[in-house]
Amino acid sequence: MRSAEMTAAPAETRQISLSFLRPSRSTVVGLVAVLLFLILWQIAPSMGWVNGRFTSRPTEVFFAALDIFRNDSFLYHARISLTEFVAGFALAIVVSIPLGVLLGTSKIARYLIDPPLMALYIAPTLVLLPILVIWLGIDMAPKIAVVFLGAVFPIVLNTMAGMSEADSRLLRMARSFGASRFDIFTRVLVPGSLPALLTGIRLAVGRAVLGVVVGELFVSQAGIGYQLNLYGQAMRIDRLLVYALIVSAFGYTLTIMVRSVENKIRDWRSK
């Protein structure tokens, strides 16, 4: 009992504040590596090791970034891509969670829909892009559809797994206290499958970001992917890199956010 008392929350918070003051070895090593890389990248073209036209330089990328944020109607393009992302993702969540719940709680539904679902999950949804363009035109609609298709399957499959793999011992315990089917659903199944659901959402983020960008690369009149395409054809490596960095920073931030919620929830489970 005494030991359990001492493993309470305070220990964790102290660790966090310390690591803030004194960066860990891995952070230091990581920082040094990045710095070395940047220096190498900066001097390589001047030393004639690589052709600067193809590699650009960190300083060039930096100034390109400043220029993009000031003069490139960056907000306009970002808003379009973001709208496509949010619309597709929201749609995916609205559809996938109830579907995942249905599949997770009904064996018959699972037997019926699981195989085609798996097939669609594994097949890269991007192959549907040309068809979607024919059906939906070149505006936002086909990209929203691609985002939707990319995000919907991981969420459905993970929600389904979380529901159907619920701990049978907990279900039995709930029944022993006279829990109704509804009680079992809301008090045991839903909280129990939340981590799996979040895993699904985290996996979906990556696929959705990819969907937006590739959709816009393929055919569009605006958006981040459109800009990427534009500067690619113009051989503006510095600007290309700025947009690539923006895309990955966006996906990375979202993923980290979902993961931190996920970890908080997993903390409750047996370690």
Partner 1 sequence: MAQIEIRDLGIDYRKPKSNEVFSAVDGVALSIERGEFVTIVGSSGCGKSTLLMAVAGLVNLSRGSIRIDSKEVIGPGPDRAVVFQEASLLPWRSVRGNVKFGLEMQRWNGGDLNERAMQMIRLVGLGRFSDYHPHQLSGGMRQRVNIARALAVDPEVLLMDEPFGALDAQTREIMGTELLRIWERDKKTALFVTHDIDEAIFLADKIVVMGRNPGHIKEVIKVDLPRPRDEAVLDSEDFNNLRRRLRAHLAEDMSSMQLVQEVA
Nearer to partner 1, 121 or 185 (CB): 185
Please state the closest distance from residue 183 (CB atom) to partner 1, in A: 6
Nearest to partner 1 of 63, 268 (CB atom): 268
Residue of 49, 69, 252, 268 interacting with partner 1 (CB under 8 A): 268
Binding mask 193-232 for partner 1 (x = CB under 8 A): -x--------------------------------------
Residues listed for the chain: 271
Tokens of 252: 């990375």
Q: Return the residue of 67, 72, 114, 183 that touches partner 1, per CB under 8 A.
A: 183
Alpha helices in 44-105 (DSSP H): 52-55, 58-71, 74-105
- Select the residue interacting with partner 1 from 50, 173, 234, 256 (CB under 8 A): 173
Instruction: Kindly state the smallest distance separating residue 7's Cβ from partner 1, in Å.
Output: 6
In the list 1, 21, 122, 127, the residue contacting partner 1 (rule: CB under 8 A) is 1
The three-class DSSP label of residue 256 is: helix
One residue of 91, 102, 126, 174 binding partner 1 per CB under 8 A: 174
Q: Does 192 bind partner 1 (CB under 8 A)?
A: yes
Q: Does 179 bind partner 1 (CB under 8 A)?
A: yes
Extract long-range pairs of 117-125: CB within 8 Å, 24+ residues apart. Answer: 117/153, 117/156, 117/157, 118/157, 120/149, 120/153, 121/153, 121/154, 121/157, 125/149, 125/150, 125/153, 125/207, 125/211
**How far apart are the C-alpha atoms of 98 and 159, rounded to whole Å?**
9
> What are the b/e assignments for 136-157, b being 16+ CB within 10 Å?
eeeebbbbbbbbbbbbbbbbbb
Residues that bind partner 1 (CB under 8 A): 1, 3-5, 7-8, 169-170, 172-179, 183, 187-188, 191-192, 194, 265, 267-271
